[in-house]
């Protein structure tokens, strides 16, 4: 027979580990040990399974409990610095944190999927009135733009290797024909606005204006240069 003290129930053999304490209020606990006295795998005959805590065989229960407490302290979610997530989510528990992260990953996945659709879509380039586009490469993702230069007569714009170029014009004016010629460009007829020399004539122009002058070929050279001034035609001696 087994002699069971401290109001303990007995099994078929007297193995202290198989005794069940039903009540310690009257007799006290049958065994009292400090956590420093309880050793994990004290005989070192098994592989340690405390990998998450980083502890090996021979660790005391005190060390194990304190390591667990350190891990639990790190799970104190309200103390975590989460400015981005807290701006959109209530996070006071590890579950709320995990659900917030999952929502963000779902949003990122959605945006990546949408971006993938854009990346895998062929580009269509539309020319404008002044720009000509050329596409090439995978799905036409390589775009080349060229400036259009009008073929209209008189256009002097040139597309050179380093950019657009307009030649500096040289001007010459024919007073007789009243034509302004732009060397390197075109010519402009100024007869409708020109008020200076009216050319060689055989009589004074009736429609002349103040400031206009002409040369009478029917008069002597000394008296041929004429000008209208203050409404009157005057002779400008040339000798």
Give the model confidence (pLDDT) of 24-72 as tens digits: 555 566 667 788 888 999 889 899 999 988 999 999 998 988 888 887 7
What is the rounded CA–CA span in Å between residue 214 and residue 196? 8
CA 173 from chain centre, in angstroms, equals 55
Confidence class for position 10, pLDDT limits 50, 70, 90 = very low
Q: Which two tokens stand for residue 62?
A: 């005190």
Helix, strand, or coil here: 60?
strand
**pLDDT above 50: residue 9:** no
Per-residue pLDDT band at 2 (split at 50, 70, 90) = very low
Q: Return all residues near 134 (Cβ < 8 A) that are at least 6 apart.
A: 125, 143, 144, 145, 146
For the range 205-210, what are the long-range contacts, defined as Cβ-Cβ under 8 Å and sequence gap of 24 or more? 208/233
Taking Cα atoms as reference points, which of 150, 179, 173, 146 lies closest to residue 160?
146
> Among the listed ranges 127-136, 189-198, 216-225, which one has the minimum average pLDDT value?
189-198
- pLDDT for 184 equals 61
Q: Where are the beta strands (DSSP E) in 33-130?
A: none
92 near 86, Cβ under 8 Å? no
167 confidence band (pLDDT: 50, 70, 90): confident
* pTM exceeding the 0.85 threshold for the entire prediction: no
pLDDT band at 198 (very low <50, low <70, confident <90, very high): confident
């Amino acid at each position: 027979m087994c002699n069971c003290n401290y109001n303990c129930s007995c099994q078929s053999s007297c193995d202290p580990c198989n005794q069940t304490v039903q009540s310690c209020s009257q007799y006290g606990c049958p065994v009292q040990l400090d956590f420093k006295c309880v050793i994990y795998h004290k005989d070192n005959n098994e592989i340690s399974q405390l990998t998450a805590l980083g502890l090996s065989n021979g660790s005391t229960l005190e060390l194990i409990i304190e390591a667990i407490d350190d891990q639990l302290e790190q799970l104190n979610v309200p103390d975590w610095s989460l400015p981005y997530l807290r701006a959109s989510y209530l996070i006071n528990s590890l579950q709320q944190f995990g659900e917030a992260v999952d929502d963000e990953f779902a949003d990122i996945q959605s945006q990546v999927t949408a971006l993938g659709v854009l990346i895998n879509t062929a580009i269509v380039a539309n020319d404008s009135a002044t720009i000509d586009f050329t596409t090439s490469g995978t799905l036409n993702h390589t775009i080349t733009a060229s400036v259009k230069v009008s073929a209209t007569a008189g256009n002097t714009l040139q597309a050179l290797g380093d950019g657009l170029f307009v030649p500096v014009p040289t001007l010459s004016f024919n007073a007789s024909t009243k034509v302004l010629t732009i060397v390197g460009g075109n010519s402009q007829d100024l007869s409708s606005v020109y008020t200076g020399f009216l050319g060689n004539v055989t009589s004074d122009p009736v429609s002349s204006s103040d400031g206009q002058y002409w040369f009478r070929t029917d008069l002597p050279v000394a008296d041929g240069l004429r000008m209208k001034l203050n409404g009157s035609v005057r002779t400008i001696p040339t000798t």
